[in-house]
Amino acid sequence: MTASVPLVVQRILVPVDGSPESLAAVRLASGMARAFRARLTLLHVTSIAEFPALIAESEDSAEEERGQLVLGEATKLARAEGVSVVAELRRGRAADQILRFATKFHPDLIVMGTRGYKGAKGVLLGSVSQAVSRRARTSVVLVRR
């Protein structure tokens, strides 16, 4: 019989995109952060254009403003739950940037929403939550609404 090692949660990462599912993840992670007295970090990734000719357009301040609004809403929600929060904004492919940030931040837990796309829709749209849960080097909690 092996002894179980208790999970110590000091850092929680919550990727947010403004969807109801990501806000549900913020609520859950806020409760966990309060219970564990953990540091809560919110991360929003703004997209980039797939074609180099469109990169200048994708760097439009509107995309960054939208990202700041998403982070602001999630931050307000976490603070309403009594949690201190840090917000980060990154640019790129969402799953790649979340995993890159997690490598540097070393969260004990990633909590993120999932829309639950399956079948052809899941294949066409891709799934950030699936990619993160498969490739992350830490525990991932997926939240459905």
81 or 145, which is more confident:
81
Residue 3 is assigned to a structural domain of this protein: no
Q: What total of structural domains would you count in the chain?
A: 1
Domain of residue 17 covers: 11-143
Residue 32 is assigned to a structural domain of this protein: yes
6 or 27, which is more confident:
27
Mean pLDDT (whole number) for 107-115: 93
Q: For the segment 73-98, what is each residue's pLDDT rounded down to a tens digit?
A: 999 999 999 999 999 999 999 999 99
Given a cut of 70, whether residue 60 has pLDDT beyond it is no
Task: Determine the pLDDT at residue 6.
Answer: 58
* CATH of residue 30: 3.40.50.620
Q: For residues 69 and 67, what is the distance between their CA atoms, to the nearest angstrom?
A: 5
Among residues 57, 46, 136, 42, the alpha carbon closest in space to that of 90 is found at: 46
Percentage of the chain beyond pLDDT 90 is 70
